[in-house]
Chain A
Amino acid sequence: MSRGGTRLDTKKVNSELFTLTYGALVAQLLKDYENVEDVNKQLERMGYNMGIRLIEDFLARTGSGRCYDFRDTAEKIQSAFKIYLGVTPTITNWNAAGDEFSLCFESNPLTEFVELPDNCLHLKYCNLLTGVLRGACEMVQMEIAAWFVQDQLKNDNITEVRIKFVKRLEDAIPAGED
């Protein structure tokens, strides 16, 4: 998604190409690992490695500042989904402490053509996303946990990702901001 010559005019690819590529990745992992739990873990790890790089692209592109409140973070994550996946999830189910919320997807481009076979009931098909979220937040000195609570692939009405703020990574905050 290089910006090429002109700014803000991002090169767009057909989302189907992305969906299918991701499908190929998951299918290959299932072949390689056989165990569904391992695939979930691998997807999360790959996502993490993508997240720690993707965050720089997000920051460079949007010029967003630092979040001092988890609600800011939620909105920025929402806008990132718009930029990278073309969907805007809704932010819901804040807990009382304000350190946990859900992202709800009506539709999920990653799962567009997907039906889970019976032997994959425990597969978290989109687990890459939780890894991306964790990696990206870690680079801006925030430790979070993310997991799926509802999944349209498992006959839920919506797909819901729960995101929990764990702590600020104080040691990693760059000079001039602590």
Chain B
Amino acid sequence: MVIYGVYIVSKSGGLIFNHDHNVPKVENEKVFNYPLDIKLSYENKKTVVVFGQRGGINVGHVLTAANGEPVTGCELPDGRNIMELLDKQENFPITLKFSRAKMTTNEKIFLASMFYPLFAIASQLSPEPRCSGIEVLEADTFRLYCYQTLTGVKFIIIAEPLQTGVEVLTKRVYELYADYALKNPFYSLEMPIRCELFDTSLQLLLELVEKSGANSA
């Protein structure tokens, strides 16, 4: 039973809260000899594996370190370009570390505002009037649950496909929001939620649900 993340999108479509809950870390370190037997490419400011998947290193994984030195974008700390480095035989053998790409906050904000029109389109495409918009979005590796309140705030939870009772959980998160975010006099509406009490009680709730199922929520 795993809940991957919780997102709250405001009435106007802005991401006001995100919490990565339980995303297992995937990291693989391996020694490579010349020539490199996987194809790397530099895209979206990351060096990613585009072909040649082996030993837990999958297509889409990001190069994070070379010989223990962190790689940011395609550069090592001393400014050398990692792609040029890997072209030269004298730099081998080399230890490369790959991990699953992490979403940056900017990307999350971007995706949240992308979900907003999708939700609206879904409700317009509906053959029946008064369609609720997307409530569950299903994929092979996760399910996205969305609960929109009457005031237009969306509570989105990403969970494992088998996780039950997430609909109930979205409503519990709404209660926490009503309690710990809105009753905080220093929180202004529509702004990102930075309330520690909210964070901690959300964390508690998620752990409880993961451990003992939705009934306890």
Contact = CB atoms under 8 A, between A and B. Distances in A.
Nearest to A140: B150
B150 A3 contact: no
For the complex of A and B, the 5 pairs showing the least CB-CB separation, nearest first, are A176-B133, A174-B152, A175-B120, A176-B123, A60-B178
10 contacts: A2-B180, A53-B183, A56-B174, A56-B178, A60-B177, A172-B152, A176-B119, A176-B120, A176-B131, A176-B132
A140 B151 contact: yes
Contacts of A133: none
Interface string A1-19: 1110001000000000000
Interface in B120-157: 120, 122-124, 130-133, 148-153
Contacts of A3: 175, 179
A52 B177 CA distance: 14
Nearest to B129: A178
Contacts of A7: 175
A37 interface: no
A177 interface: yes
A83 to B, nearest CB: 13
Interface of B: 11, 119-120, 122-124, 130-133, 148-153, 171, 174-175, 177-180, 182-183, 189
B133 A60 contact: no
Interface of A is mostly: loop
A1 B171 CA distance: 18
Nearest to B120: A175
Most chain A C-beta atoms within 10 Å of own C-beta, residue among B174, B178, B180, B182: B178
Interface string A57-71: 101110111100000
A163 interface: no
A104 interface: no
Contacts of A176: 119-120, 122-123, 130-133, 148
Nearest to A63: B171
B182 A174 contact: no
A56 B177 CA distance: 8
A155 B61 CA distance: 76
Contacts of B11: 172, 174
A175 B177 contact: no
Most chain B C-beta atoms within 10 Å of own C-beta, residue among A57, A66, A176: A176
Contacts of B183: 1-2, 53, 57
A177 B130 contact: yes
A139 interface: yes
Contacts of A146: none
Nearest to B122: A176
A167 B123 CA distance: 23
A56 B16 CA distance: 16
A56 B182 contact: yes
